[in-house]
Structure 1
């Protein structure tokens, strides 16, 4: 079953196709202040397509607080879909304990002289799992609002069971098959498009044996990979302890750039009885994994939104 995939997100006034990315960084200083540094945006949508005009600015909240006190804004940049804010800072006075219960919502808007502002995209950062050692400026894909669907057709799975020869000793006989079909609306890093590939790990195994990759698809924001991967060696019941981590990268000779990713698991926070930071799947990610577990020997297809950031594995 394929899911329909509208790529339009409505703002307060009008609607635009959410696209592009925003570059910013987070750091915590003096045990009392969160500093959000906004550098620039790239390839934003036109808020007024007829006039080919966008006057963008960036706004932040610390959810669940949506009050005026929580709202911070940058300056407005006129007539550009590639605004440069030059390191403008948005600051919050708050203890680390309070921050860990919050989600940073950073959104980009078109400023209208009549107050009819148009939503251009957003990024949500869960501060509970944020790596506070990561303070460098980083690009994040802009996403539509939660009630819209920004889809990437990611994977299909089949769990195949083979006969076991013993009830005492566990003979590995369960396989997970991953069929990576395609991606859509990847962030445009180069004029001719990105040279993308997908990397897969079946956690908790982070060895070279676990790592599998697709070929590089060049100069495309809508790459078709059509690549199959097989992970075997599971015993009965062990697949529910695993997490399939898929990340999309722009291939570069010097350093590959992260474009997004997903983690498919039950999202329990634990694997084999131990607390792990990567077992944090949500929403469609959990649903697809549950559907696979309940449908052995059958393909289960899904379209999953790419995360704009991934919690680093410890």
Structure 2
């Protein structure tokens, strides 16, 4: 390869890398690293599993035994790389997904793995278990191989034997998410200019005073809530701020103020404050609900973003803040289920 060709190749690679990084930073939303394909293969085969509620641990256990006669994503070689994923619906994002390991080059994978949820029985009775089977593609789209659903409100939990169910295609979206997430009382203010001791003016600050939450969803016997904040599109560790964790309460009083500096007045129409409420569990932190304070335009610094989706109540509080600089504005806002813009640091 000539020197000029090598230079051109490096230029192309560097520009592609820069474009990917910029797009990711501006998007600021939770994305699956590889997209999913629901129509790549025709669904066939079955799944073998059992479910059990362990009262002593207050845990819901799903024992995934095996799958049989799955569709072949690679029909020439007659194989797939399957794994099983579980959700509790309608609140898919609430307790999150669980996954088995990937079994390579087989249409009859044996898993023998337990997927665990720490959840109280009363809440579990309001959910539907969804077990879906996927082909894992390292460099492309994960392919949907089929799913089954179990309505837990009618399930006999004394039945712990194996279940053999035929996989079915996904024809319609699963149940609509629940809106009963509780509420948050908070106040915010924007200080356009901060005077330092040297007499110099800097850019402004946003102050977020998280006062309390009420009626949080009791997804376990007891919950230990805390609040996490980002000012999007920045989802770095530096942007993340958190309240302390309060134990065993659905009505936590935080009285915690978070301060973000380096904010210009022009940024107020481009940025968005995301506040999410989490339950700190020994297994994982579970998202209880959240809100986003911003203009709700769907755009940020010229890019289309899914997190600029503030509700009318959230927009109204943000606009009151912009209209009255240096003054606190307060509201009680309903929490809603949303995809947190950053789940890596809980």
Please give the range of the TM-score, normalised by the shorter of the 2 chains.
0.5 to 0.7
Residue in 2 that maps onto 1:291:
320
Which one of 195, 202, 226 corresponds to residue 255 of structure 2?
Answer: 226
Cα displacement (A) at 1:200 = 0.5
Residue in 2 that maps onto 1:178:
208
Q: RMSD between aligned alpha carbons?
A: 4.5
- SS of match in other structure, 2:260: strand
Which one of 136, 149, 160 corresponds to residue 191 of structure 2?
Answer: 160
Q: Distance in 2 between matches of 1:265 and 1:87?
A: 48
Residues 84-233 of structure 1: pairs in structure 2 closer than 5 A: 93=171, 106=175, 123=177, 142-144=178-180, 151-162=182-193, 172-191=202-221, 193-233=222-262
Q: Give the total of aligned pairs.
A: 217
Question: Which structure: greater helix fraction?
Answer: 2
Structure 1 residues 234 and 37: alpha-carbon distance in aligned structure 2, compared to 1, 3 A threshold: closer
Cα displacement (A) at 1:40 = 6.9
Q: Which runs of 5+ in 2 are unaligned?
A: 1-35, 44-84, 91-118, 129-148
Question: What does the per-residue CA deviation read over 1:88-113, in whole Å, with 9 as the maximum and x for residues that have no partner?
Answer: 9886547xxxxxxxxx572xxxxxxx
TM-score by length of 1: 0.55
Q: Distance in 2 between matches of 1:87 and 1:175?
A: 58
Residue pair 1:240, 1:293 contacting (<8 A) in 2 also: no
- SS of match in other structure, 1:183: strand
Larger Rg: 2
1:257 aligns with 2:286: yes
Cα displacement (A) at 1:244 = 0.4
Residues 236-275 of structure 1: pairs in structure 2 closer than 5 A: 236-275=265-304
Q: Distance in 1 between matches of 2:289 and 2:126?
A: 23
Residue pair 1:38, 1:87 contacting (<8 A) in 2 also: no
Cα displacement (A) at 1:195 = 0.9
Q: Distance in 2 between matches of 1:238 and 1:87?
A: 55
Residue in 1 that maps onto 2:39:
30
Q: Distance in 1 between matches of 2:42 and 2:327?
A: 51
Structure 1 residues 308 and 90: alpha-carbon distance in aligned structure 2, compared to 1, 3 A threshold: farther
- SS of match in other structure, 1:286: helix
Q: Distance in 1 between matches of 2:164 and 2:281?
A: 26
Residue pair 2:298, 2:304 contacting (<8 A) in 1 also: yes
